[in-house]
Amino acid sequence: MTAVRVPGAPIISDGRLVSTSPATGAEVGRLPVAAGDDITRAVARAREAAGWWAGLGFTGRRQRLLRWRGVLARRIEELAELMHAEGGKPVPDAIVEVLTAIEHIDWAARNAGRVLRPRRVRSRLILAEFTGHLEYQPYGVVGVIGPWNYPVFTPVGSAAYALAAGNTVVLKPSEYTPVVGQWLVDSLAEVVPEQPVLTAVHGLGDVGAALCRSGVDKLAFTGSTATAKKVMAACAETLTPVLLEAGGKDAMIVDSDADLDAAAEACVWGGLTNAGQTCIGIERVYAVEPVFDAFVGKVVERAGRLTVGADGADIGPITMPGQLDVIRRHIDDALARGGRAVLGGADAVQPPYVRPTILVDVPEDSLAVREETFGPTLTINRVRDAEEAVTRANALPYGLGGSVFGRRRAVAIARRLRSGMAAVNSTLTFAGMSTLPFGGVGESGFGRIHGEDGLREFGRPKAVTRRRARSLLPAMTFERTPADVARLVKVTKLLYGRRR
Ligand code: NDP
């Protein structure tokens, strides 16, 4: 990498990754780049720590993770300021992000034992002479690769659940937010000084690729769909199981009986928070014809009030300088194809900022409708009815989240969205509910973090059967007689042979 200083673009200098503010270019910190055997050594250390960590049991881990939660809560302002300095995120948004991460650590720590601990499982009439035993054993070392847009929420969403399940974690933070990643590692080490249960390896994409091939027992990836495919291909070489939280192009549907003020407020928040750099951010809106004009008016009025700038503004800089070109291209393409800008538009991109841009009547084959824009822009298209809205919302290969505003049909519509999550009369809220699983379908990935499914994602189910009596109907033995087999046939027909 050349040493040309584009604010926010990471630089490698003397074997160190130099992280800078996208707003000012000021250096935020520098960290050693993992090279040579560094990654395999980090995984080996994590493997040694894994035995100790698993041996603490659910209660020992719960105590320690709750202490970590306490550190984050007590130092929430410090961490939010660091996130602001490194990624440009407004401090209030960073506070909300850390709070969400704290809630996930708390829930994972408190519930891992209940969800994963060894339990007896009832057998049925077949094999009634056996009892079943089920438990979720830790994998060992989990590799976590994270993006820059939510540098606390995303790694914690995997790491806290993996740790609570008894694994140790090697984290590869994004090259745009390594200092925040290291802060997380250091804060856990403060309360768990005995062993490196969470460590970080820093560098560019090649470090992430090396982590996939380092012998980790599972790889949890959060990032773009393009990189997710590379991660899966690398992990396929060793059949390393993967969890992929990839990109999205989430839609909001506004039905005819929606509360339009609430819908507009949520739409502006869901689409423009974090300057639109949100995997589950609203990027496309489908509003039914009778409410379209009124809804657009309310969105424009609210979005037009937002401030853009470095400190104290609602919308901060675009974190990744290269994304500015993508956003500009999407806006230009939408306008060239006949879409109209009712706010912002062609000159909205003013590096490192993008002014809120609302595009209406944008053809469905436009880039702004089909591809992840990752900027403070929204397309709002009119549809005949909710049915057409669902069809259009479901037309893309992505399927992460979504939102529906309305009364009578809203939940039914939400259930029909081809996505892993949906919010009715709100946006993004499923991300903060620790009891619900988080993840996508299609090109948005597979596997789940958060909730009970998120805990089970980080444990290998282990099934054990145990004989408790002699078999009355011997089946799984060479010692069975023809009479036993005849009885098996009779029982099979009796139990399962009914026509209804
Ligand atoms: P990227 O896919 O560019 O990067 C994600 C991580 O993967 C980074 O740490 C990156 O390192 C690393 N990486 C890059 N190349 C490789 C490789 N070949 N093998 C292994 N790891 C690699 O995504 P972004 O960081 O740009 O994040 C934005 C994307 O993340 C958006 O698409 C967004 O939708 C998605 N996202 C998904 C979420 C979800 O839960 N589904 C949540 C948040 C974001 P480096 O940064 O050093 O290149």
Q: Where are the domains of the chain?
A: 28-246+451-459, 250-439, 470-497
CB 358 within 8 Å of CB 296 = yes
Q: What is the DSSP letter of 356?
A: -
- Say which CATH superfamily domain 250-439 falls into: Aldehyde Dehydrogenase; Chain A, domain 2 (3.40.309.10)
Instruction: Count other Cβ atoms within 10 Å, centred on residue 112.
Output: 25
Q: What is the pLDDT of residue 1?
A: 41
> Do 313 and 307 form a contact (C-beta atoms < 8 A)?
yes
Cβ of 208 less than 6 Å from ligand 1: yes
Please state, in angstroms and rounded to a whole number, the distance separating the CA atoms of residues 434 and 208: 27
Per DSSP, what are the bridge partners of residue 381? Answer: 286
User: In CATH, what class is 28-246+451-459?
Assistant: alpha beta
Per residue in 58-104, pLDDT (tens digit) is: 999 999 999 999 999 999 999 999 999 999 999 999 999 999 999 99
Per-residue pLDDT tens over the stretch 280-331:
999 999 999 999 999 999 999 999 999 999 889 999 999 999 999 999 999 9
Ligand 1 proximity of 200 Cβ (cutoff 6 Å): no
Q: What is the pLDDT of residue 25?
A: 94
Which of the listed residues 174, 374, 449 should we mutate to test ligand 1's pocket, taking the one with most ligand atoms within 8 A of CB?
A: 174
174 alpha carbon to ligand 1 midpoint, in Å?
A: 7
Pairwise CA distance, residues 127 & 477, whole Å: 13
Question: What CA–CA distances, in Å, run from 338 to 366, 372, 388, 466?
Answer: 10, 20, 21, 69
Residue nearest to atom 11 of ligand 1 (CA): 205
Residues 140-179: tens digit of each pLDDT = 999 999 999 999 999 999 999 999 999 999 999 999 999 9
Cβ neighbours for 404, distance < 8 A, ≥ 6 positions apart = 252, 253, 255, 410, 411, 413, 414, 417, 422, 423, 424, 425
Out of 29-33, 274-278, 283-287, 471-475, least confident range: 471-475
209 in contact with ligand 1, CB cutoff 6 A? yes
Q: Is 400 a pocket residue for ligand 1 (Cβ < 6 Å)?
A: yes
Q: Do domains 28-246+451-459 and 250-439 have the same CATH topology?
A: no
Atom of ligand 1 lying closest to residue 227 CA? 2
Does residue 231's CB lie within 6 angstroms of at least one atom of ligand 1? yes
By annotation, the residues acting in catalysis are: 245, 279
Render pLDDT for 413-432 as a digit per residue (tens, 0 to 9).
999 999 999 999 999 999 99
**Measured in angstroms, how far is the CA atom of residue 137 from the centroid of ligand 1?**
28
Dihedrals phi, psi of 425, to nearest 5 degrees: 60, 30
Q: How far is the CA of 224 from the centre of ligand 1 (A)?
A: 5
DSSP at 202:
B
